[in-house]
Structure 1
Amino acid sequence: MVRMRDIYLLKFGGNALGDDGMERLCREVAALTEEGVSIVMVHGGGPAINAEMERLGMKPVKVAGKRITDEAGLEVVEKVLRGINAEVVRCLEDAGVRAIGMPGYFLSECRRDGPQTVVDEGREIEVDYGLVGEVVKVDPQVVYDLVDERIVPVIYPVGSDGEQHLNVNADSMAAGIAAGIKVKEMIAITDVPGILRDVHDPSSKIDTVTLKQIDALIADGTISGGMIPKVDACRRAIEAGAEAVRMVNGKDPDSIITDVIKGIPHGTLIIR
């Protein structure tokens, strides 16, 4: 029987933290782990992957938020994500955190996406993503063994179906792991303060919202544009089994995650 643990999963991407955000986040993680808080981190690397592909003369193509990935593209994805992962681990260690980097396939099993119909920019299209997958199973004991030793796992989103490495959307990887290890809360670190009723008024932030209310906010246009994929990523985590997802601002000068973990209202909490 696995003991229940209060684990927080932090998901962040390349645009969410600002110039000094990674160092600030690592200092917060250091302080929290010192107090006994268990933390798991999952990161993406979309902008850096795009830049490297373009440098090599390759054209990045995304459909409905997922990158179409062939063998050459997967090689770039893995190389870039390994580099980012090493940087994050080094930053954590500089802050005094014991951390270990790993690909998603160290603790999860994935299923390769087949050809499917998706909605992209309002149009239904058929797409074959290639070497892309989704998390279908997680071994939580890998995480439990590490956090019990106050080690922070830092996971990058490359999975495997047992035969082939697969590119996994970072939000999907985070959602699958969050559900598989039964986190207390998944914290999605973004570049916005949360869901706003008025995008021009930070004081209009919504503190708590359900999936049904999100549907209504999308329908009436309150949630629109680039906010929709951010919210959809949180929705995927809830639907995958995470109890709650909180969207916070990685560029907040005061606290990125400490307020949340200490119970101070921050960002927008999304629940079923």
Structure 2
Amino acid sequence: MDGHRQQAGRSGLPEERIPEVSPPVSLQDGSAAAFVGWMRHSAPYIHAFGGKTFVIAFDGEVAQGERMQRLAYDCNLLAALGIRLVLVHGARPQIDAEMARRGLTPVFHKGMRVTDAAALECVKAAMMVTRVEIEAKLSQGLPNTPMAGSYMRVTGGNFITARPLGVIDGVDFQYTGAVRRVIAEEIVADLEQENVVLITPLAPSPSGEIFNITMEEVATEVAVAIGAEKLVFLCDAPGLLDAQGKLVSSVTADAAARALAEGSGLTEDLHLYLPHALEAVRRGVGRAHLIDRDLDGGLLLEFFTHAGVGTLVTRDPIFRFRDARPEDVPALIALIAPMEADGTLVRRDRELLEKEIERFVLVEYDGVVVGSAALYPFSEERAAELACLAVAPEFRRAGIGEELLHRIEARARAMGLERLYVLTTRTAHWFLERGFREVGPDALPRRKRELYNYQRRSKVFVKELT
């Protein structure tokens, strides 16, 4: 089946309706330095994401007003960076408003709309108006806005065929449907022409009937069918929260399934979107993201900063621990340089790191080195030193330091060593809480004792590896 595409061209708004945007970065204040730092740290992600496909799903609450304006700005930037975009929108509040206008009462079962013939007419009307309004936002190009000089070709078509959902728990969903097939090759063809694909969750069946499908199902099936790098849900929460109400920055599909089974603390959107997020990554989508729809620039902060601002769902753990290789030296230098500058770590020149790189264990997050630790054995005394334990600031609450310590201890035990020493000037309590005890410099292995710097006055701690 061919995808019959409708294209939305550029359309301007009257000048008096130019949306307000943040003022440019001033070179006269500290924001300039912050901007430069952010741009430099985002470079690896810009390189990694070029040519990749992101599916971004959002409901009707986002598809109107200022939220849609901000989303259009961010999508414009993502497209300019070479990211292929598929946008899947919903329209629940718009449909409810249309039904109210016609004197109809919405009916839901298990979070899904029961769509009878009268409701279907409201769905079609609200969906089409919402789509046109989204296209208009994506097609702006006014001067003095983030979309100045841009031209985003927005396409759509009959990329999906549907089937009736049927009767569930005795409830006949009538014209509420499910995805039968995604015509992935047509979507990919549009993306290869640098078009932004906008998908409305209405689809025909082979018999020609039209069915209303949930936005989250359409987004998931499309992401799986086209092999998307990311599936993103903009939702009514910052992401998944733990028992203390703190954001869970990353979670595996198995852990997400447990959180879903427990159900406590999940918002309406999370109940709807989290199952689809974990399903997507289990079926081959690279990453799924849950991001607060009210956070200005949430997409950019999630994609182009190490820590992100939402919850990242992956099939496997996001952090990768591995042995260091010679080509890792530049990344290791970049990680430890700030801690050497403030005196937390002893300075190591590049030549020394190149000689000793095989002693290091590294932690990667999305291919970026965010943690390190090294083991220096003193075999004749059945002891070793833990050195250069470093974690990037934004990940210091993620348990990386603890895991690095465990791995260094396991490596030392495998070598038949009995004691692990560490020297520190800033993190004494951290090591005390993990089973180390303080000793004097004289307790160090002989070769390390001879190199002890009395001017630095590092505290010495030891742990028995029983």
Both structures adopt the same fold (TM-score exceeding 0.5) = yes
Q: Which residue matches 2:250?
A: 208
Q: Which residue matches 2:229?
A: 184
- Among 153, 172, 175, the alignment partner of 2:217 is 172
CA 1:225/1:209 → structure 2, altered by over 3 Å: closer, same or farther?
A: same
Task: Quote how far apart the aligned CAs of 1:159 are.
Answer: 1.1
Q: Which residue matches 1:119?
A: none
Conservation of the 8 A alpha-carbon contact between 1:190 and 1:249: yes
Conservation of the 8 A alpha-carbon contact between 1:206 and 1:268: yes
Conservation of the 8 A alpha-carbon contact between 1:93 and 1:99: yes
- Among 142, 159, 169, the alignment partner of 2:203 is 159
The aligned amino acid for 1:174 is: A
Task: Quote how far apart the aligned CAs of 1:190 are.
Answer: 1.0
Of 242-251 and 54-63, the range deviating more from structure 2 = 242-251
- Among 252, 266, 279, the alignment partner of 1:224 is 266
- Among 85, 92, 96, the alignment partner of 1:50 is 96
Percent identity (aligned) = 23
Secondary structure (helix, strand or coil) at the match of 2:285 reads coil
Q: Which residue matches 1:133?
A: 177
Task: Quote how far apart the aligned CAs of 1:256 are.
Answer: 2.2
- Among 150, 153, 162, the alignment partner of 1:99 is 153
Secondary structure (helix, strand or coil) at the match of 2:197 reads strand
| Structure-1-length-normalised TM-score | 0.85
Show structure 1 runs of 5+ residues with no match. 117-124
CA 1:8/1:57 → structure 2, altered by over 3 Å: closer, same or farther?
A: same
Conservation of the 8 A alpha-carbon contact between 1:18 and 1:251: no
Q: Which residue matches 1:27?
A: 73
CA 1:177/1:21 → structure 2, altered by over 3 Å: closer, same or farther?
A: same
CA 1:21/1:225 → structure 2, altered by over 3 Å: closer, same or farther?
A: closer
Over residues 210-257 of structure 1, what are the superposed CA-to-partner deviations in whole Å (9 max), with x where a residue is unaligned? 23212322444544352323323423444565343100112113x221
CA 1:68/1:236 → structure 2, altered by over 3 Å: closer, same or farther?
A: farther
Conservation of the 8 A alpha-carbon contact between 1:68 and 1:129: yes
- Among 58, 65, 68, the alignment partner of 2:111 is 65
Rg larger for = 2
Over residues 107-137 of structure 1, what are the superposed CA-to-partner deviations in whole Å (9 max), with x where a residue is unaligned? 1222211212xxxxxxxx3211001211132
Q: Which residue matches 2:194?
A: 150
Conservation of the 8 A alpha-carbon contact between 1:89 and 1:99: no
Which structure has more relative contact order (CA 8 Å, sep 6+)? It is 1
Conservation of the 8 A alpha-carbon contact between 1:38 and 1:152: yes
Show structure 2 runs of 5+ residues with no match. 1-50, 141-146, 316-466
Over residues 43-95 of structure 1, what are the superposed CA-to-partner deviations in whole Å (9 max), with x where a residue is unaligned? 00001101110110111101011111122211211111111111111101014
Residues in 2 aligned to 1:230 and 1:148: alpha-carbon distance in whole angstroms: 28
Residues in 2 aligned to 1:63 and 1:189: alpha-carbon distance in whole angstroms: 22
Over residues 14-39 of structure 1, what are the superposed CA-to-partner deviations in whole Å (9 max), with x where a residue is unaligned? 22478522111111111121121111
1:111 has 2:169 as partner? no
